[in-house]
Structure formats: structure tokens, C-alpha cells
Amino acid sequence: MHASEAAPLVITTDRAAIDRVYRPLVIVMVVPVVLVSLVVVGAGVLVGQSLASPTGAAVGIAVGMAALSIVLVVLVAAFLALTAYQWGVLRSIGERVVADGSGMRMQLPVGRVQVPWSAVHGARITGAGRSEVLRLDVDASALVGDLSHRHRRIVASKGLAFGAVGMQPGIAALANAVAAGTAGRVVPQRR
């Protein structure tokens, strides 16, 4: 059966699987933010006490602790916010990929894109389990969609990546669709 005659493959998001990966990450990051925030409060108390009875060493140590604590809180909070944002974006995607005889339509976290089979030049599978990734090497100039110029350059240099987390059905189904859609010209290889 030719790829154009086959029913389209629709890959959706398994939100429960996304939650199982991201929820523990967010919880693990909240703990340091709380602990470092407590250190900031403690350092603030030390600064206040040091200023009440100023000695050079005490003030320096207290101010240094406060500054370091604030920097740590900002860094961990920024990473926490980025992870929570990524979690929300991944959960919001219903249909991730639709592969049919003409190519693939994808909803990526950074935009929508259509890839004709003629634009797919290579494919490889790396990792295993939750870290398994299918990466397609594509001609970025043949893509149709709303990707920014920056993201098109990334696709041109690194390809399109599909992580296994939350992909239903999984990477094997997408790899089979790539092989069928390209009529065997591109068969994803495990590396």
C-alpha cells in the first residue's frame, strides 16, 4: 500500500505522561526556591544586625550572603518558570503530528509547520525510554508554516526533533510513517 493510500497517522499528546515527567521537576525546583528564600531572609536579618553593630568583617559576610542568596533565588526561580512554561505549552498541544501521503503537519511548541516528504533527507533515533528522540533532517526552505526565521535556522542546522514523552502513539509509529511516506528513501536509524 502506498503512503498516499494509507489512513493518516495522527500523533496526539498524552497529557498524563507529560504531567508524570514535569510535575516532579517542578516540585524538586520549588524546594530550593523555598530554602534559598529562607536563607535570604536569614541573611537580611544578619545584615540588619551587622549594621546595628558595624564591624567590617560581619557586614561584608552578611552582605555577601544576602547577594549570593538573591542571585540563587533568581536563577532557580527563572529555571522553574521556564520549566513550568514548557510544561504548559506541551500540555496544550492536542495533535502533535499528522502524517499522510503529502507529508507531515506538526504543531511544535514554537509554531505550526508542514513538511512535504520530498523535504525529508534523513532521520535518526537517539536515546531510550523517556529520553528517546526522533530527529528529522529536512530542507528548511521547503517548510510551510509560521516558524520564525530563528527557528527555521535551528531546523536547518539541527533538524526537527520529536521527544518520546507524551507522544501517543510513540516514536516507532512516526518512524514507520517517515519510512512509508518517503517510499523507503529515508528509514530512521537508531544511533
pLDDT tens profile 44-69:
676 666 666 666 666 667 677 777 77
- Is this prediction's pTM over 0.75? no
- Calculate mean pLDDT across residues 174-184: 92
* Residues forming a β-bridge with 167: 13
Is residue 80's pLDDT more than 70? yes
Torsion angle of the four alpha carbons 111, 112, 115, 116, in this order, in degrees rounded to the nearest 10: -160
pLDDT at 4 over 50: no
Cell numbers given for 164: 518520546
Q: Are 186 and 122 in contact (CB under 8 A)?
A: yes
